[in-house]
Structure 1
Amino acid sequence: METKVFTERIERARKVMERKELDLCILTNRSSIRYFSGLRMNTAAFSILLISQDDIKYVVARLDLLRAERDCWINDIISFPEDTPDYLNILTDHFKQWKNPRVGVELPELNYETYRYFQEKLSNGHFINIAAELKYLRTIKSDEEIKIIRESANIADKAMREALKVAKAGIKEYEVTAVARYTLLKEGSENPSFEPFLASGENSWLPQRYSSEKVLKPYELNLLDMGGIYRGYCSDITRTFSVGETTPEQYRLFHEILTVQQNTIKSLRPGISAGEVDYIARRAIEELGYGEYFPHLTGHGLGIDIHEGPIIDKERTDILQKNMVLTIEPGVYLPGVGAVRIEDMVLITDDGYEILTQTRRDLIN
């Protein structure tokens, strides 16, 4: 993305700082730093972004310094020695310019040990949690973000289709998700956006959210959930299928929940609340008699984080707006029968929606 994209994001963050009367923001959350810096880091790496009204300072480990200087738009980049007790001693002089600063931080993403360390470095500081405000900045996607998310969804579709090709009776759960992982990376994902899993038979209704050595067989429902990260942006897709014959109850459950999911998607439009969308799905499932077997939210926003606003759940007041991207994924987990969840990524448009994930939604694979 062009530098202008990131400077505009910084300016929106500074408006939040003005409203909160903050002197400084100290950001350690990986997603926030990626959003404002544009720099991809190894998942084990730690960095800090400092934002004031006058400057921006990016603090990275020594090992990452040269690459950050080459690839990041921020001019003031300094390094710290990893795995040393006083690793932020390099910021001591920088912090001296504030006598009694109001400091924005992201809780609970900021772990307690690091939080206490900042409090020692800024002993006269007053710390204010601005995690919600910064997350809200990411809910409405730009045209450039939507292009990236489309490709992320496209890669997830490819991985799902390749995984379904090998999902036959006699194959193990983890063998199927191995194909999904391989395809995600082969097609350009940085990493899976979460641990992909295939839960078959009893594992589906528990549910067991990791793949095991269990083999797939007929007369079972199989739930396959996966997603990848492409240029920083997550995808998420779930399909439910069988590798052979199903019972009449499994057949009925699958088609009932697929209908609920599709009807819920049809309700999406700018101006509707997240709580109302959840109510549409939840009421339909309750009317089918499965209310107690629907244990999770109806959907969630996604972008740099796999779960971000808007959250589609009970009584949520978030109002859907154009260029939000979210999932719709009602599910029922029925002991002795199986689980059904069909999940798609959806873009909110001017007057409705566009489904971004296109893998077929068939019961028999």
Structure 2
Amino acid sequence: MKNQFTSRQQLLKQALKKNGLTALLVLGHENIRYLSGFSGNAAYALITAEESVLITDYRYFGRAQEESIGFEVVSRDRDSETLGQCINRFLTTNSQLGFDAAFIDVALWQQVASELTSHTVTQVTGMVERLRMVKNDWEVEQIKAAAAIADEALRQTLPYFKEGVTERDLALELEFRMQKLGSEGMSFATILMFGERCALPHGSPSERTLSKGDFITLDFGAVVNGYRSDMTRSYVLGKASKKQSAIYQSVSNAQQAAINLLKAGVDCLDLQNISQKVLDDSGFGKWAGQGLGHGVGLFLHELPFINKNCRHVLEAGNVITIEPGIYIPNFGGVRIEDDILITQNGYEVLTQAPKPFELEG
């Protein structure tokens, strides 16, 4: 465990040198956790060639000391020292400072930058995220554990899918069971919809009740040691119509066509194209969702993103989702999603929940 954090810090320092930077201010909590092991918030990480500093305050100081590996932990008195002043303590004259631009609001950055005028400040994006794309064995085990919790929670919740139950009640039941099984909260706000509302790719659970013949879509995930799972299953309560079955089969075929290609060295654009071709050939392609999938780890949605603009070639250790979907307004929709580990010669599906389309009412 200890070695993986120091190794990540060294890789980032090498990336700084390669990009002409002498320091990087890391602001995203998940990126900080990846580099240091600190699982709290209200913290900032400053990485230089000589040192790694975690800046927090009295609320998290003890916890940061316990959890952080390879970092000097500094407790900043927010009443007497600004963040910019604190950062300046650790910078050499005229540092080339990059900052994690995706994780700071304009007001805070303007205040910080105004106190770092003796340095050259440059926004950077994706520097830590690119390191995080390839998971080590420990990271994969955390995602597997999160996926197993989600699998079991769904198994326990399926008997509650009966006529008259509401979307909200089922979502709460599923979330309760994930947490009882050990999930650290939810991977994201659970998506659970019935009937025509399944045409909303990311709708929120409502008081809508379940009836025979309704589509059901649920998209959810668990969290273990900060690592997330992400799974979608689609059903019909009772007997599916011919159109419902055709939509489901089209999405299932599109997912499997992409999965069949998975291994290190495959271009993500090829995955997107083959999945879309299956949907187009089925006649439902015009209602397809944009993008086939994404990386998953400490972030729910992280590199690589699999879409028509993707330029990533899969590497062993990538953990991605494959999730084609069809969404027909005022009718309903289907999405099937699994978390998948890329290996040198193929793949391993991490989400194991079965995929029956018709549920007994």
TM-score (norm. length: structure 2): 0.95
Q: 2:53 aligns with which of 45, 52, 57?
A: 57
Choose the corresponding residue for 1:91, options 86, 90, 99: 86
Residue 208 to residue 81, structure 1, CA distance change in 2 (3 Å): same
State the distance in 1 between where 2:262 and 2:152 align. Answer: 25
Per the TM alignment, residue 125 of structure 1 is displaced from its structure 2 partner at its CA by 2.3
**CA shift in 2, pair 1:206/1:99, >3 Å:** same
User: 1-side partners of 2:210 and 2:106: how far apart?
Assistant: 44
Contact 1:276 1:315 in 2 (8 A): no
1:71 is the counterpart of 2:67: yes
CA distance in 2, matches of 1:102, 1:303: 30
Paired residues in the alignment total 359
In the alignment, what sits opposite 2:4? 5
Query: Where do 1:192-203 residues align within 5 Å?
Result: 192-203=186-197
1:86 positional shift: 5.1
Q: Of residues 334, 343, 351 in structure 1, which corresponds to 2:337?
A: 343
Q: Is the Cα–Cα contact under 8 Å of residues 251 and 324 in structure 2 kept in the other structure?
A: yes
- The amino acid of 1:24's aligned partner reads A
Q: Which residue of 2 aligns with 1:17?
A: 16
Tell me how far 1:294 sits from its aligned partner.
1.1
The SS at the match of 2:316 is coil
SS state at 2:149 partner: helix
* Secondary structure, counterpart of 2:21 in structure 1: coil
How far the C-alpha of 1:114 sits from its partner, in A, is 2.2
1:152-206 CA-to-partner distances (Å, cap 9, x unmatched) read 1111212222232212111000111112211221222212111012111121113
Matches within 5 A, 1:1-365: 2-41=1-40, 45-81=41-77, 84=79, 87-88=82-83, 91=86, 94-95=89-90, 97-207=91-201, 209-365=203-359
Check whether the contact 1:164–1:176 (CA below 8 A) recurs between aligned residues: no
- Percent sequence identity over aligned pairs: 28
Per-residue deviation, residues 263-302 of structure 1 (Å, max 9, x unmatched): 2111111111111100011111111122221132101111
The code of the aligned residue for 1:58 comes to: L
Deviates more, 1:252-261 or 1:349-358: 252-261
Q: C-alpha distance in 2, partners of 1:203/1:149?
A: 30
Matched to 1:148, the amino acid is: Q
C-alpha change, 1:93 and 1:329, in structure 2 (3 Å) is: closer
Query: Gaps spanning 5+ residues in structure 2: where?
Result: none
Q: CA deviation at 1:89?
A: 6.4
Work out whether residues 227 and 234 of structure 1, in 8 Å CA contact, stay in contact via their aligned partners in 2: yes
Contact 1:260–1:330 (CA under 8 A) maintained in structure 2: yes
Q: Contact 1:250/1:337 (CA < 8 Å) preserved in 2?
A: no
**C-alpha distance in structure 1 between counterparts of 2:200 and 2:84, whole Å:** 49
1-structure distance, mates of 2:149, 2:212: 28
